[in-house]
């Protein structure tokens, strides 16, 4: 999926993310891990929605997990077991 090619507003983003097993987000050096079945919807959305009101890029979908934002340490943690 490409969040830069297809725009996802908050409602569309939640429809996409709500069935995920984990959502990993990065903003600079700050990394957070979310479970959409347990964590608050608005808190998760505030972390994955950018200033434009759309899903932040880059966003990766890997199976039932999502990575939102860029952080090399997060990519290493999630992508290299």
Distances (CA, A) of 5 to 8, 28, 68, 74: 10, 23, 15, 23
Q: Residue 45: which of 17, 21, 69, 7 has the closest Cα?
A: 17
Rounded Cα gap, residues 69 and 13, in angstroms: 14
* Domain membership of residue 15 as a residue range: 10-79
Q: What global pTM score does this model have?
A: 0.88
Tell me if 41 is assigned to some domain.
yes
Tell me if 2 is assigned to some domain.
no
Average of per-residue pLDDT across 10-18: 96
Q: pLDDT (tens digit, 9 = 90+) per residue, 33-55?
A: 999 999 999 999 999 999 999 99
Q: How many structural domains does the chain have?
A: 1
3 is written with which tokens? 């969040």
């Amino acid at each position: 999926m490409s969040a830069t090619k297809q725009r996802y507003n908050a409602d569309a983003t939640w429809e996409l993310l709500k069935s995920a097993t984990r959502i990993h987000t990065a903003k600079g050096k700050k990394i957070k891990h979310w479970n959409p079945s347990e964590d608050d919807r608005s808190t998760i959305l505030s972390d994955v929605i950018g200033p434009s009101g759309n899903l932040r890029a880059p966003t990766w979908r890997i199976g039932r997990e999502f990575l939102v934002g860029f952080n090399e340490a997060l990519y290493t943690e999630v992508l290299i077991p």
